[in-house]
Amino acid sequence: MDNNINNEIEYRIVNGNDVNNINTHSYFAALKIKGYDVPFCGGSYVGKNIVITAAHCLDVGLKASDLVVQFKKENITDPGIEYQVNRILIHPNFNINTLNNDIAIIFLNGKPWQNGIKKLLLPTFDIKKNLYKVGKKCVILGYGYTSENGYNSFKLQRADIKIISKNSPLNFYQPGSITKNMVLAGDFANLDNPNDNKDACSGDSGGPMFTWFNKKRYLNGLVSWGYGCAVDLYPGVYTKVGNYRRWIRNNAKV
């Protein structure tokens, strides 16, 4: 990891596609600060009144009363279905310098399932290995930037990526920078074409990386960090949600 990591990390979806039917991804949560239209981070609804997101989205002095969470947004300015936030809980061992344990829980003031919001399933111990196999196909979602120095997408973006081993020749991160609580994923379609890579970046932080197992969708990652955006040999780094199942259950009862 670069010593100056906080000046290097970017978070947005590049080379994705528009989501035209928002109901297919109703679990996607857009995090917004009151008084602003554009979401600053993403999250995932996992049942009851609980949204899971990245700790670095909230570890900036935000209070619960500053936040609004939106579901089923037809576009970036559409309010969709809004919820106020009762409480936020950042993982006690979150490290802002290394971004280890980059996970947080948001407690909403209502239960989104009552408005038809579907949940993403959380990994369980018995299927955890299946969700993180090298080459496993995953999906990322977000309203973030669509190019390195671009702008937020007007519509929710989706991109298909794959799990990459930290020992892969496609991984150029410095040894030790990828902890056991992180997982790499990306899509380097053609290393001779640096403009065709799929990745997550600015505005996508905390959003879901999900995969399928037995025809069900599981939240196996959270957009966390990466070097640049869609840069060859620097895949996206995601919080490994499967490592936090007990912590989530103990604190959120889901």
Q: Report the chain's mean pLDDT, rounded to a whole number.
A: 87
Which 8-state DSSP code applies to residue 217?
E
Q: Are both 169 and 94 inside the same structural domain?
A: no
Q: Report the Cα 63 to chain-centroid distance in Å.
A: 20
What is the tens place of the pLDDT at every residue in 68-83?
999 999 888 899 999 9
pLDDT number for residue 151 = 56
**Domain membership flag for residue 1:** no
- Dihedral over Cα of 39, 42, 45, 49: its sign: negative
Per-residue pLDDT tens over the stretch 30-66: 999 999 988 999 999 999 999 999 999 999 889 999 9
Same domain, 197 and 134: yes
For residue 46, the Cα-to-chain-centroid distance in whole angstroms is 13
| Rounded distance between C-alpha atoms, residue 100 and residue 91, angstroms | 10
Backbone angles phi, psi at 45, to 5 degrees: -80, 130
Catalytic machinery residues? 56, 102, 205
Whether residue 139 is found in the same domain as residue 13: yes
Q: How far apart are CA 201 and CA 236, in angstroms?
A: 8
Examine the domain organization and report whether 35 and 134 are in the same domain: no
Domain presence at residue 2: no
pLDDT of residue 3: 29
**Among residues of the chain, what percentage have pLDDT more than 70?**
82
Nearest to 240 by CA among 142, 123, 159: 123
| Half-sphere exposure (Cβ direction) of 76: Cα atoms closer than 13 Å | 20
Identify whether 81 is part of a domain.
yes
Q: What is the pLDDT of residues 144-181, one digit of tens each?
A: 765 555 556 678 988 889 999 999 988 899 989 999 99
pLDDT of residue 7: 35
Backbone angles phi, psi at 95, to 5 degrees: -120, 110
